[in-house]
A and B are shown apart, each in its own frame.
Chain A
């Protein structure tokens, strides 16, 4: 083809890959694309808590139960009290957490949030995470308290992406509403409009 054009393009791409690899290697934090399984608490006060089962790499991490710690109540009914609360929860379990005053994070885009969201939920998605625009929301989050995240359900990855960022920042008590806001709305649970 044209003179050195393609050699130059290849040189730029090669240099970019090399610098990118070096940059990734130098940075203190590794890029994660999946949720990591919550680790069992290591302090003595939680020694009575059963150890988390070994994680099968073929099992989606989303179904790994969260370790229960003091102050982290199981919201399920007495009939289901023996079922551990997992990372992925359904809307009914989420409603119980909602009634307990747990913080909810809406990871959808701004337009969807304004059209309707779970009352008192904060709008926070991966692009807003740790930015000045979301400073108030970040301040409201407490690493010792559970957080429920939801997005549009279905193929929506926004909840998982936000959960990965939160895990990287040290938040461990995270729950994701598996079928997201559509199921919450379908079940007739409270919804409010506008911004927060």
Chain B
């Protein structure tokens, strides 16, 4: 059962990494004006002042890249997953605010691609989609990355401590 749990965490970790690396690629390299499109998409939410739109448009895709790579490699997995979870929650609140203001916007989340909801329509479906994505992220954030995690669990206590054993046995016990 423990092995199955670690396998599930491993699959979740890789799936989340792939998803956010793909999202970052769409925001950075999908076309020559991809960063411009992403900045306009953020600006359309009418939540952030312009200077913060520039900051967010520049930083968010690269944070997604870093988190994706960390999750694949298996280093700092909980920190990466926790950060992605926090970002996704913020995105979801922003989407909800847009819907409550009855604005008609495109998301800009995955470029021209769609996961579950239509890519060019912001709807309550997007909230559900984000909730689905949040599940594997929270699993990794809470329980670690499962198999092939290079990071040893350095936390012995605390709410985020892993209930699962470390992914690799220590040499002394081997």
Asked if A20 contacts B44 (CB within 8 A), the reply is no
B45-73 CB contacts (< 8 Å) to partner A:
46, 50, 53-55, 57-63, 65-67, 70
Asked if A165 contacts B37 (CB within 8 A), the reply is yes
Chain A 1-33 interface mask (CB, 8 Å, partner B; 1/0)? 111110011011101110111011001010111
Which A residue's beta carbon lies closest to that of B119?
A127
Bound together, the chains give a CA A126 to CA B54 distance in angstroms of: 17
Asked if A127 contacts B37 (CB within 8 A), the reply is yes
The interface stretch among B77-85, B89-97, B164-172 is B77-85
User: In which size bucket is the chain B interface?
Assistant: 35 or more
Asked if A5 contacts B35 (CB within 8 A), the reply is no
Which B residue's beta carbon lies closest to that of A113?
B120
Tell me if A125 is interfacial: C-beta within 8 Å of chain B. Answer: yes
A127 surroundings in chain B (CB, below 8 A):
37, 41, 106, 108, 111-112, 119-120
A130 surroundings in chain B (CB, below 8 A):
31-33
User: In which size bucket is the chain A interface?
Assistant: 35 or more
Which of these, B66, B83, B106, B118, contacts A126 with CB under 8 Å? B106
Bound together, the chains give a CA A127 to CA B118 distance in angstroms of: 13
Tell me if A116 is interfacial: C-beta within 8 Å of chain B. Answer: no
Chain B 149-164 interface mask (CB, 8 Å, partner A; 1/0)? 0000011001111000
Bound together, the chains give a CA A23 to CA B55 distance in angstroms of: 12
The interface stretch among A46-54, A73-81, A155-163 is A155-163
B155 surroundings in chain A (CB, below 8 A):
2-3, 5
With A5-B79, A12-B63, A168-B36 given, is the CB distance from A112 to B104 under 8 Å? yes
A164 surroundings in chain B (CB, below 8 A):
36, 40
The interface stretch among A62-70, A87-95, A103-111 is A103-111
Would you give the shortest CB distance from A73 to chain B, in whole angstroms?
30
B160 surroundings in chain A (CB, below 8 A):
2, 5
Asked if B50 contacts A33 (CB within 8 A), the reply is yes
Q: 24 A-B residue contacts at CB 8 Å?
A: A1-B158, A2-B159, A5-B160, A9-B79, A16-B60, A17-B55, A20-B59, A20-B61, A21-B59, A23-B58, A23-B62, A31-B39, A33-B40, A33-B54, A126-B41, A127-B37, A127-B119, A129-B31, A133-B112, A155-B101, A157-B40, A157-B43, A158-B105, A161-B40
